[in-house]
Amino acid sequence: MKLLIRNLARDLSEDDLRKLFEAHGGVQSCAIVMDANTGVSKGFGFVEMPKVGEAKAAMKTINGSTVSGTTIRVKKAE
């Protein structure tokens, strides 16, 4: 299941994001979208988790939590 994570702190790394989700299960891929011109995070990213149950549990637990000073939002990517 592919998840969209929004409102990420600009200084959060992909490694930090991966670790956050790995606490809830296996992570197949993790990517933070970067601005092509500046190389700075656009504040959102994607995490893909192969097991739907783990992805739903992570989504429920992490959505609305504060990470690096910002309240992040997690939902199923469309």
Q: How many domains does the chain have?
A: 1
CA 18, chain centre distance (Å): 7
Query: Would residue 70 count as lying in a domain?
Result: no
Query: In which residue are the tokens 């994607």 written?
Result: 46
Q: For residue range 13-50, list pLDDT tens digits in order.
A: 999 999 999 999 999 999 999 999 999 999 999 999 99
Question: Kind and range of the H or E element at 18?
Answer: helix 14-22
Tokens for 1, please give them: 């299941």
- pLDDT score recorded for residue 46: 98
Residue 66 pLDDT grade (very low, low, confident, very high; cuts 50, 70, 90): very high
Tokens for 69, please give them: 């000073």
Q: Could you tell me the CATH number of the domain that includes residue 20?
A: 3.30.70.330
d(CA 47, CA 38): 23
- pLDDT score recorded for residue 38: 92
- The HSE-up count of residue 8 (CA atoms within 13 Å, CB side) is 25
